[in-house]
Amino acid sequence: MQLQNHVKFPPKAKKTPKIFKEHGHVRTDNYYWLNDRENPEVIAYLKEENEYTETVFNVPTKSLQKKLFDEMVGRIPQKDSSVPYTVNGYTYYTRYERGKEYPVYCRKKAVNNAPEEIMLNGNKMAKDYHFFDINNWDVSPDNKIIAYSLDTVSRRQYTLLFKNLETGKTYSDKIPNTSGDIAWGNDNKTIFYSVKDTALRPYKIFRHTLGEPVKNDRLIFHEKDASFDAGVYKSKSEKFVVISSESTLSTEYRLLDADNPGGKFNIFTPRMEKVEYEIAYQGGRFLIRTNYKAKNFRLMETPLDKTGIENWKEIIPDREDVLLEEVEVFDKFFVVAERKDGLLRFRIFNTKDDTDQYLQFDEPDYAVYFDDNYAYYTDILRYGYTSLKTPNTIYDYNLNTGERELKKRQKVIGGYDPEAYVTERIYAEARDGVKVPISIVYKKGFRKDGIQPLLLYAYGSYGYSMESVFRSSRLSLLDRGFAFAIAHVRGGEEMGRRWYEEGKLLKKKNSFFDFIDCANHLIAVKYTSPKRLFAMGGSAGGLLMGAVANYTPGLFRGIIAAVPFVDVVTTMLDEDIPLTTEEYDEWGNPNKNKYYEYMLSYSPYDNVKEQDYPAILVTTGLHDSQVQYWEPAKWVAKLREMKTDNNLLLLWTNMDFGHGGASGRFEQYKEIAMEDAFMLFLLDK
């Protein structure tokens, strides 16, 4: 296949039939050959698709994309810094320098007028790489050595490195193919880490002694069940090193006294089918968040020396209308994040007098989260607050006095008035009678006359709740008359655990139907019309986009599918692909006929048909380790073969990046500008 210059006609991928036979059913995949990243023909095809996109879209919208990009970057402070936090006698923060893409990781001794110490300078370290990501870092208990995990390919295979913060010397110790996990022993020389198998599943935990050859590292734990990931971390109290084994529906933990890093790990309580639990140490006991005999999770406790499930005692019961999501522990307090009616709230427990209270938030639709709460011995809770119109704001809340201190509010350069925008939370009735929440933001003056443009976004998988967060880049659409809406479809956990369970496995289609019904509701109540309605989703949300494109192609003017998971059956049958075996509890195991048939009935790639489709922009990354590039590439090739319209269909492959896109803070806005330009371009046609 030759790469054409200035391609004017859509590329046509060659067809090389590959036959799959499962459960007595035969599938023909004409584009399976695209799975080979090392095949020059594959690279040539991806480049030809890029050239086509460049010719028919990027060139005509070059000035628009630049204008959008300049707007987005222009709202970001050139110089910026995170809110400092103090741990173990040092205050830590990251800062950005003017015009630079990557953070500088800094610290100071927690005394007045202490000089800044630069631990890692991302800009200097990244200068020889197209992609650069420091995934995780941790300083040794004696404050002398920083361990950090680095990815320069975008495959999420991290190399573990070490630097002496007193001398500036980088150690020769170099540990490849890790998950990025780091846990220090309290002896300041022992490090625990996890490595990945050929399918990029974290599965082994090793113990390394600083200065010793990596080949001598001792295997501590091997997770042999392919549906589980193995990780390692240090407890907030610094008392334990913890090994985690996690699948979609089950967990198990092993603990080691961090003062004895050469010792033996002990199981907290053995794994049980469909039982999840998380643990946090607090003053002689463990707090346990678990779904054991609890649909929406409950909080339990157990003594330090009696961790078996038979010893657990309930503190907070399971509730029908409240999902217990997270627990933040301090020496005298613990704070529970609970979700009710789709919104998160914080409940504060004082262990000294056994009282509790709720933290109140004002807006009808918002998002809150625990921020940098690394210190155990403190009375300060740090949290973040945002909404679709409220920039991200960091607060310190005094757990003793109830006083709240504003630490930082996200700056929007050029002036931004939240009162110029309106947020709403409405409900659409799904076809089975369920009420699906929709969060909406638009600029004042937006008319509900059925002719305004609207972008509808959703995810709907893994129990991940889509929060109503502020994005300054979104202003470029809102200020051009768009409304932005989030459909909180089933498959997320916005409305509790049952919301998740009704959008997975053999009920996955509820996610698709919820999205379609939300779109129809927005049209019915005059927010928009099919000719001005756009849909967007990424990764598992890209599966959602592929499904609704097949089901209701006439409902949308355009669809943006970012790194979309669209070849469900083939991927879930291939145990060598990253994430496959770990996700049988999410999608089902197609080696079992009932799951195979159900997946086949909705898999976007398998259900492309001869019909008109809306305009579609598909993006992917050549080095994507979560949704392999060939899924969107095959999908686009089949769409080109089958579709009966002349609407724009674009595949844009980033040849340098993976699932997360660009690594620099400004570079990412080129992708967003491209997506926005796609919608504006269609409206102008």
Do 456 and 441 form a contact (C-beta atoms < 8 A)?
Answer: no
How far apart (Å, rounded) are the C-alpha atoms in residues 32 and 52? 22
Do 173 and 210 form a contact (C-beta atoms < 8 A)?
Answer: yes
Number of domains in the chain: 2
Dump pLDDT digits (tens) for 443-472.
999 999 999 999 999 999 999 999 999 999
Does residue 321 sit within a domain? Answer: no
Does residue 58 sit within a domain? Answer: no
Under DSSP, the state recorded for 167 is T
**Known active-site residue 659:** yes
Provide the CATH number for the domain around residue 225: 2.130.10.120
3-state helix, strand, coil in the chain (%, to 5): 20, 35, 45
Annotated catalytic residue within 149, 659, 663, 676: 659
For the packed helices 62-74 and 668-684, what is the interaxial angle rounded to 10 degrees? 130
Do 305 and 319 form a contact (C-beta atoms < 8 A)?
Answer: no
439: phi then psi, degrees, rounded to nearest 5: -100, 135
**What pTM value is reported for the model?**
0.91
For the packed helices 509-524 and 593-602, what is the interaxial angle rounded to 10 degrees? 30
**Known active-site residue 539:** yes
Runs of H (alpha helix) within 612-685: 630-642, 668-684
Does residue 262 sit within a domain? Answer: yes
The boundaries of the domain holding residue 180 are 129-267
How far apart (Å, rounded) are the C-alpha atoms in residues 277 and 312? 12
Provide the CATH number for the domain around residue 636: 3.40.50.1820
The confidence score (pLDDT) of residue 268 equals 98
Does residue 323 sit within a domain? Answer: no
- Alpha-carbon torsion angle 624, 627, 628, 634, nearest 10: -130
The confidence score (pLDDT) of residue 380 equals 97
Q: Which of 567, 559, 563, 519 is nearest to 538 (CA)?
A: 563
- CB count, 10 Å around CB of 143? 16
Q: Which of 267, 283, 308 is the last residue of a domain?
A: 267
The confidence score (pLDDT) of residue 5 equals 46
**∠ CA 227-200-47, rounded to 5°:** 130
User: Could you tell me how far CA 124 lies from the centroid of its own chain?
Assistant: 27
Annotated catalytic residue within 133, 217, 624, 676: 624
What's the chain's length in residues? 685
Annotated catalytic residue within 244, 439, 539, 663: 539
The confidence score (pLDDT) of residue 1 equals 34
Q: Which of 245, 267, 289 is the last residue of a domain?
A: 267
pLDDT mean values, one per 10 residues, the chain (685 residues):
56 96 96 95 96 96 98 94 96 93 95 95 91 93 97 89 97 95 97 94 97 97 95 96 95 98 98 97 96 98 96 98 97 97 96 92 94 95 98 98 97 96 98 98 97 98 96 98 99 97 98 99 98 97 98 98 96 81 90 98 98 98 79 98 98 74 75 98 92
Do 107 and 117 form a contact (C-beta atoms < 8 A)?
Answer: yes
Do 476 and 72 form a contact (C-beta atoms < 8 A)?
Answer: yes
How far apart (Å, rounded) are the C-alpha atoms in residues 335 and 357? 10
How far apart (Å, rounded) are the C-alpha atoms in residues 486 and 125? 38
Coil, strand or helix: which one is 138? strand
Dump pLDDT digits (tens) for 174-197.
999 999 999 999 999 999 999 999
The confidence score (pLDDT) of residue 2 equals 36
**Known active-site residue 514:** no
Do 31 and 17 form a contact (C-beta atoms < 8 A)?
Answer: no
Does residue 108 sit within a domain? Answer: no
Q: Which of 267, 299, 326 is the last residue of a domain?
A: 267
Does residue 631 sit within a domain? Answer: yes
Do 376 and 237 form a contact (C-beta atoms < 8 A)?
Answer: yes
Does residue 369 sit within a domain? Answer: no
Does residue 1 sit within a domain? Answer: no
How far apart (Å, rounded) are the C-alpha atoms in residues 590 and 584? 8
Dump pLDDT digits (tens) for 124-148.
999 988 888 999 999 999 999 999 9
